[in-house]
Amino acid sequence: MPNLNHSRRKILRNSLQMSLGLLGANLSLASLAQSSGARPNSASPSATTTPVSSQTGAMRLILLGTAGGPTPKKNRAAPAQLIMIGEEAYVIDCGNGVAQQIVKAGIKLSTLRHVFLTHQHSDHNADYGNLLLLAWAADLSHRVDTYGPAPLRKMTRLFQELNAEDIRIREQDEGRVPFSTLVHPHEIVRAGVVLQNDTVTVRAAEVVHPPVQPSFAYRFDHAGKSIVISGDTTFSERLLELAQDADVLVHEVMHLPSLEKLLGTEPNALRLKEHLLASHSSCEQVGRLATRAKVKKLVLSHFVPGGYPYLEDQIWIDAVRPFFDGEIVVGSDLMEILV
């Protein structure tokens, strides 16, 4: 009769050797990728392939989520961007799942320092409070300043009240810094400089996104470089002024020929179509604005449609190219761009 224990040991030994062989191969591939400068979340040739540590004064722009609209999509996360300057993270918009997207991007939640909301729509603010709470539950222990239109202060207060029991338990049981002392909301009531320190200047411009008022775009200037985040808007002269000569413009975009198929899946299709046409930017509008603003790199994001119907990257490029002859990047989740 065969020795079952011996057979099992032989199988385990062979399996272990195979696993170690695969591990060695993977490590070799990883070492090769690292030596060539490739980054795991570089989703396209337009994403940075240069190690950030070698770039003094650089801004890292990470597209955390690139879908448009409040409903979850299979292929794109909800709208959010992160700009990393030194060891501080600046998050712009907080769509559903933003904390997880930050972790997927390889960024520690404890680097969170500033949060900006472009406007009060659920695909941009749904996880505003959750981002702060989950960062605090991880390892955040320093002050975070948040910026956005009213009622930002009320939202912050009510979120703390909603989660008061969890916060109380964690403060007592885990000895965490009091949550209420960390978050400092600032309501933006007019365009202009909203943050200025030794590192960065952040300016806001009111854009056109009816019926949500005010809605803002933001410009980040650091070490002679600039990134502009459009927020949600149709063509806006104020955004045109804000984006002048920007190194990077991240702009929402809508593919008009695909709207009918999208609207066929939505209730109240007629009203939704009226809203989209009045408050979002077509490929032509985005391209013309980028040309007039003389931006160096145009990054398309907040795609409408963002999931259905699915559109290949080249379709977006072909729709914008007649109106902008500069560099066009079709954004994707976790894409990283060095500025």
pLDDT, one tens digit per residue, over 151-177 is 999 999 999 999 999 999 999 999 999
What is the per-residue pLDDT for 308?
A: 86
More confident residue, 263 or 46: 263
Regarding whether 106 and 26 lie in a shared domain, the answer is: no
Tens digit of pLDDT for each residue in 117-152? 999 999 999 999 999 999 999 999 999 999 999 999
The proportion of the chain whose per-residue pLDDT surpasses 90, expressed as a percent, equals 78
Regarding whether 59 and 29 lie in a shared domain, the answer is: no
- Contact call for residues 109 and 135 (beta carbons, < 8 A): yes
Confidence band for 2, pLDDT divided at 50, 70 and 90? very low
Regarding whether 218 and 151 lie in a shared domain, the answer is: yes
Number of domains in the chain: 2
Q: Is 122 helix (H, G, I), strand (E, B) or coil?
A: helix
Regarding whether 117 and 8 lie in a shared domain, the answer is: no
CB within 8 Å of 252: residues ≥ 6 apart = 68, 230, 231, 232, 233, 280, 281, 286, 301, 302, 303, 304
Regarding whether 138 and 27 lie in a shared domain, the answer is: no
CATH of the domain at 139: 3.60.15.10
* Domain around 329: 41-338
Name the pTM for this structure: 0.84
Q: Inform me whether the pLDDT recorded for 17 exceeds 90.
A: no
Regarding whether 118 and 14 lie in a shared domain, the answer is: no
Q: Inform me whether the pLDDT recorded for 54 exceeds 50.
A: no
Regarding whether 171 and 26 lie in a shared domain, the answer is: no
Regarding whether 161 and 129 lie in a shared domain, the answer is: yes
Cβ neighbours, 10 Å, residue 326: 14
Q: Inform me whether the pLDDT recorded for 114 exceeds 60.
A: yes
Regarding whether 208 and 251 lie in a shared domain, the answer is: yes
Regarding whether 17 and 114 lie in a shared domain, the answer is: no
Regarding whether 164 and 24 lie in a shared domain, the answer is: no
Tell me how far apart the alpha carbons of residues 93 and 208 are, in angstroms, rounded to a whole number.
Answer: 17
Cβ neighbours, 10 Å, residue 258: 18
What is the per-residue pLDDT for 30?
A: 37
Regarding whether 166 and 30 lie in a shared domain, the answer is: no
